[in-house]
Structure 1
Amino acid sequence: MNGKKILFVSSELVPYLPENEVSLMSYETPRMVNSNGGQIRIFMPRFGNINERRHQLHEVIRLSGMNLVINDMDMPLIIKVASIPRERIQVYFIDNEEYFKRKATFTDENGKLFTDNDERAIFFAKGVVETVKKLNWSPDIIHVHGWMASLLPLYLKKYYADEPLFAESKIVTSVYKKGFEEELDKDMIKKISFDGVAEDSIKPLATPNYNNLLKVAVDHSDAVILASEDVPQELQEYIAQLEKPVLSYVPIQEFEEAYANFYNNEVLK
């Protein structure tokens, strides 16, 4: 991985959110690349249940200040950063008062999905790309973890198709076990179409459930990693018929060599 630039975009990341399969692999994978001489950037949403004082988040004024249009509404983009001390890894946080101030990640106190999770995912995808453009940092690989990050491949391949910074970037999506049971807002497909994305490229989102969200993600990725032992069968079958590199599930104790080989020999070949 020496000298390779990898952008990691994740829904969740330890130590900022509780440990689970997504948040742990979102930490371990960049740590591995970093320790093997790669250059990394990590992005995640600045959820309201992240303790800003404890983790020493601070706003980066030069990166903040622009508005992103979400479903015909102007939503201010705020960028914050923090460092994971023992690894000397910097993390960028995508923030917005309307979408990320509430003290929770994806669901309310009753376990119901937030009704604007679709807009939060659109905002997150656009916010990551616009911030990387401001950093003028062209990644060799963009590795996506977690369902709230799963619109990024679509937006890179469609909305930002003519952006030269990402012309050579390869997109990898890690697919995990089912992340939610309900459906996102039924108008999600219209909100994405508002950005000029053709509906035929997002047909599955007519039913915006977890499996269909990930189908759209892998459709617009260059390679796929099965990151859970229990990826939904429907998704496994869908991924199996894609003509692109797929890395089968590898336990976390053995992932480093497998992921590094996959990056070097399958994704970057």
Structure 2
Amino acid sequence: MKLLFAASEVVPLVKTGGLADVAGSLPKALTELGAEIRIILPKYEAIPESYAKQFETIATFTVRIGWRKQYCGLLKAEIDGIIYYLIDNEFYFRRGGLYGYGDDAERFVFFCSAVVESLFHMDYKPDIIHCHDWQTGLIPFLLRTRYANDPVCRHIATVYTIHNLKYQGVFGKELLKELLNSGDELFGSEGIEFHGAGSCMKGGLVYSDKLTTVSPTYAQEIQTEHYGERLDGLLRWRSQDLIGIVNGIDTDSFDPMNDPAIEVPYRDAIARKRKNKLALQREMGLQESESTPLIGIVSRLVDQKGFDLIEAVLDSIVSADVQLAVIGSGDWHYEEMFRRAAERQPNKVAVWFGFNDALARRVYAGCDMYLMPSQFEPCGLSQLIALRYRSVPIARETGGLKDTVTPYNEFTGSGNGFTFTNYNAHDMLFTIERAIAFYNNEDAWKQIVANGAKDDYSWKQSAKSYMSIYSELLSNRKENNSWPVI
């Protein structure tokens, strides 16, 4: 089984969010199950020199974008046992960031076209291309339309993973027609038309043989109007090919027993974990106290993550016997909210704006509870990392949070966290207060932490589910390659 992962970011080369963790960790687990796997992504300026210098150019060719022919270099290196390819074009990718540019449509049309063209130049013939999020959505579309009759491409199956349906790569119809050098024929009911514009993600949703998303609950949610981002009808139509598989984490990297970023190694001993809590309190300027519950947050500070709920009851949270340690950046409004709270209560609220991986790990290790009141959460990795570090999640029951955080039941002793259903600030506040009450019950708290320690947060089970999808595609390749040639 030969797989090619196409993604816009991959750990350890470059990362802005959870997509990179998935695209970097899942291939390792698949390799352990016997798959042969390689990964392709853009050659960004942000890739550290220590990695970039290991790549060698194996081919150069041109890619047609509109009326222009653009240079493309194909580079290759083996890093930590995985072979990576980079798509090189300095005009598109030698920039300070990965996304957010005015020509992102052109940049990722180029990337998708270059990935398909690279199939004619690389020393690898994949059985399946696994694409991730909107930046790669046009790859299945191109394979099933422009390259459908090409002998190199026509037998390649495709899997498309939705990491977050909210971000769809929607651009003007005329712009995409120009970039794809096409007419209206690509924008019919079986094309990429999206409410008068064009959607890169829709290319993946319509033309991939199988669709996956990152939790079973999110797979159901996105088929509803509330969560479907105007694609729910299409997703219901493809429901037989849509599968939700919970993400895992790299348990070798996120291991409190062997994490050099934290003060005191530990596994299940709460006493040793609380030494990390005292160290974190010192580092972030909070009052040192083992008995005061510490709530951690490591997140983008945006509406999706539920910060409007926190804003509504922040004074009530802070007035309780609790501390907050926050790492993140995002909307200025929420940054100001936490900045003002830290100024008013410096012994109880500490904030670090931006992202610092080592400090984030110390927050996971040092906090007692981890707060995730998300509006929606396709999977979420933070609650899995928190559980791995024996911190107890407080989460809203949505998406992957519902699939991975089970509410504590004081009558049966089951459950690894605390949850609330309605998107309501006072429901969240009640749940926080309930968690604090059980924190003050040492026996109950030890039971909750022990329950979380029993779960397997690795990629092992999820990788088996992906392997099952790949095997089905290979055994039924002809039936699955049934999309019309446009």
Q: With structure 2 as the length reference, what TM-score do the two structures score?
A: 0.48
Aligned: 1:39 with 2:32? no
Which of 451, 454, 462 matches 1:255? Answer: 462
Q: Which amino acid aligns with 1:202?
A: I
Shift of 1:202: 2.2
Deviations 1:159-187 (CA, angstroms, capped at 9, x unpaired): 11122122222110001114648853553
Please say which structure displays the higher CA radius of gyration: 2
Q: 1:181 to 1:143 in 2, by over 3 A?
A: closer
Is the 1:137–1:165 contact (alpha carbons within 8 Å) kept by the matching residues of 2? no
Distance 1:223 1:68 in 2: 27
Is the 1:7–1:141 contact (alpha carbons within 8 Å) kept by the matching residues of 2? yes
Distance 2:158 2:13 in 1: 24
Aligned: 1:199 with 2:187? yes
Counterparts of residues 94-109 of structure 1 (less than 5 Å): 94-107=87-100
Query: 5+ unaligned residues in a row in structure 2: which ranges?
Result: 249-456, 477-486
Distance 2:5 2:169 in 1: 27
SS in 2 for 1:250: coil
Could you say which residue in structure 1 is the equivalent of 2:121? Answer: 134
Is the 2:3–2:36 contact (alpha carbons within 8 Å) kept by the matching residues of 1? yes
Q: 1:47 to 1:146 in 2, by over 3 A?
A: farther
Shift of 1:236: 4.8
Shift of 1:217: 1.2
Could you say which residue in structure 1 is the equivalent of 2:108? Answer: 121
SS in 1 for 2:116: helix
Counterparts of residues 81-230 of structure 1 (less than 5 Å): 81-85=76-80, 88-107=81-100, 114-135=101-122, 137-178=124-165, 180=167, 183-185=170-172, 187-195=174-182, 198-200=186-188, 201-204=191-194, 206-208=196-198, 212-227=199-214, 229=218
Is the 2:106–2:179 contact (alpha carbons within 8 Å) kept by the matching residues of 1? no
Is the 2:133–2:201 contact (alpha carbons within 8 Å) kept by the matching residues of 1? no
Distance 1:239 1:18 in 2: 28
Is the 1:223–1:267 contact (alpha carbons within 8 Å) kept by the matching residues of 2? no
Query: 5+ unaligned residues in a row in structure 1: which ranges?
Result: 108-113
Indicate the larger mover: 137-146 or 249-258.
249-258
Distance 1:202 1:258 in 2: 29
Is the 2:5–2:38 contact (alpha carbons within 8 Å) kept by the matching residues of 1? yes
Indicate the larger mover: 173-182 or 212-221.
173-182
SS in 1 for 2:126: coil
Q: With structure 1 as the length reference, what TM-score do the two structures score?
A: 0.83
Distance 2:99 2:110 in 1: 14
Distance 1:134 1:181 in 2: 29
Q: 1:222 to 1:36 in 2, by over 3 A?
A: same
Aligned: 1:238 with 2:238? no
Distance 2:147 2:195 in 1: 20
Q: How many residues align?
A: 253
Shift of 1:105: 0.1
Shift of 1:80: 2.1
Shift of 1:255: 1.2
Distance 2:104 2:86 in 1: 17
Q: Which amino acid aligns with 1:263?
A: Y
Could you say which residue in structure 2 is the equivalent of 1:110? Answer: none
Shift of 1:206: 3.8
Shift of 1:55: 4.5
Q: Which amino acid aligns with 1:8?
A: F
Is the 2:169–2:201 contact (alpha carbons within 8 Å) kept by the matching residues of 1? no
Q: 1:199 to 1:238 in 2, by over 3 A?
A: closer
Is the 1:7–1:139 contact (alpha carbons within 8 Å) kept by the matching residues of 2? yes
User: Percent same amino acid among aligned pairs?
Assistant: 25
Is the 1:46–1:94 contact (alpha carbons within 8 Å) kept by the matching residues of 2? yes
Aligned: 1:59 with 2:46? no
SS in 2 for 1:165: coil
Q: Which amino acid aligns with 1:83?
A: E
CA RMSD, 1 decimal: 2.5
Could you say which residue in structure 2 is the equivalent of 1:111? Answer: none
Q: Which amino acid aligns with 1:45?
A: P
Is the 1:57–1:82 contact (alpha carbons within 8 Å) kept by the matching residues of 2? yes
Q: Which amino acid aligns with 1:102?
A: R
Shift of 1:194: 1.2
Could you say which residue in structure 2 is the equivalent of 1:75? Answer: 70
Q: Which amino acid aligns with 1:204?
A: F
SS in 2 for 1:255: helix
| Larger RCO of the pair (alpha carbons < 8 Å, separation 6+) | 1
Q: 1:217 to 1:54 in 2, by over 3 A?
A: closer
Distance 2:126 2:162 in 1: 21
SS in 2 for 1:233: coil
Distance 2:134 2:169 in 1: 13
Q: Which amino acid aligns with 1:7?
A: L
Is the 1:32–1:256 contact (alpha carbons within 8 Å) kept by the matching residues of 2? yes
Is the 1:9–1:43 contact (alpha carbons within 8 Å) kept by the matching residues of 2? yes
Q: Which amino acid aligns with 2:49?
A: E
